A and B are shown apart, each in its own frame.
Chain A
Amino acid sequence: SQQGEEDPQALSIQEGENATMNCSYKTSINNLQWYRQNSGRGLVHLILIRSNEREKHSGRLRVTLDTSKKSSSLLITASRAADTASYFCATGGGYQKVTFGTGTKLQVIP
C-alpha cells in the first residue's frame, strides 16, 4: 500500500527557478525521507527529516514537515539542468518498512 503521494506528478521549470514538490501521507510517521532518481538509474537518498523537526536544509534543498497536516515539501532553489529527475518521498515508522510514494517528475529546461 502506498503511504506517500507526491504532488504534482510532473513539473517543468526554467533553469534558475525554484522547484517545489509536496508529499502527503496517511498514518503517523517517525521520519520522512526524500530520494532522487535519474532516468534509468537507482534512487539516491537526499535528506531525512524526523517527526520532531519542522525544517531541514542541505545545500540547495529545503525540506519542511507538518505532522498535523501529514505533509512535507521539498524545495530546490536555483534549479539546474542536472536537477532533472524524479523525486520520491518515503515514510518510515521505526520498525516499519519504508514506504515510497509515486514520485514527481521534474524537468529543468536550460
Chain B
Amino acid sequence: DVKVTQSSRYLVKRTGEKVFLECVQDMDHENMFWYRQDPGLGLRLIYFSYDVKMKEKGDIPEGYSVSREKKERFSLILESASTNQTSMYLCASSPIMQVLSNQPQHFGDGTRLSIL
C-alpha cells in the first residue's frame, strides 16, 4: 500500500529558528508537494517538485524553501520561523503527470507546527 510518512505529527519551535519538516514516500513517485492547511483557507501549495533536485514555487512560497536530494525524500525548510507560519503542513506525492491527466495525490498525516 502507498505510504507517505512525515517525520513529526506535532512540533513546537521558537520564532527565528530554522525548522526542517521531512517527508518520505515509498512509491517511487516523481512528484512531491508541500501544502499548508489553515481553517477557512483550505490547502495552499507552498512548493512542489517533479524530479530530484527540481523544485517549483507554489502559491505561497515566501518564507519557505525545499530540498529534494533523493527521489523519495522532500524536505520543507522554514528559514526563520515566524508565528504566522503556525499551521498544519501536509506532504503529498503522485506519479508523473501525463498530458491532460492529473494523478491522484497520496498524503501523509500532516505535521501540526506551532511557532511560539
- Which residues of A line the B interface, CB within 8 A? 1-2, 30-31, 33, 40-45, 48, 88, 90, 92-103
Contact = CB atoms under 8 A, between A and B. Distances in A.
Tell me if A's interface is mostly helix, strand, loop or mixed: loop
Contacts of B108: 42
B42 A92 contact: no
Contact of A92 (B102, B106, B110): B102
A1 B41 CA distance: 10
A42 B42 contact: no
B56 to A, nearest CB: 8
Interface residues on B, range: 20 to 34
B58 A97 contact: yes
24 contacts: A1-B59, A30-B101, A30-B102, A31-B102, A42-B90, A42-B92, A42-B108, A42-B109, A42-B110, A43-B43, A43-B90, A92-B102, A93-B102, A94-B99, A94-B100, A94-B102, A97-B33, A97-B45, A97-B48, A97-B58, A100-B35, A101-B42, A102-B41, A103-B42
B97 interface: yes
A76 B55 CA distance: 37
A52 to B, nearest CB: 10
B43 A88 contact: yes
A68 B32 CA distance: 32
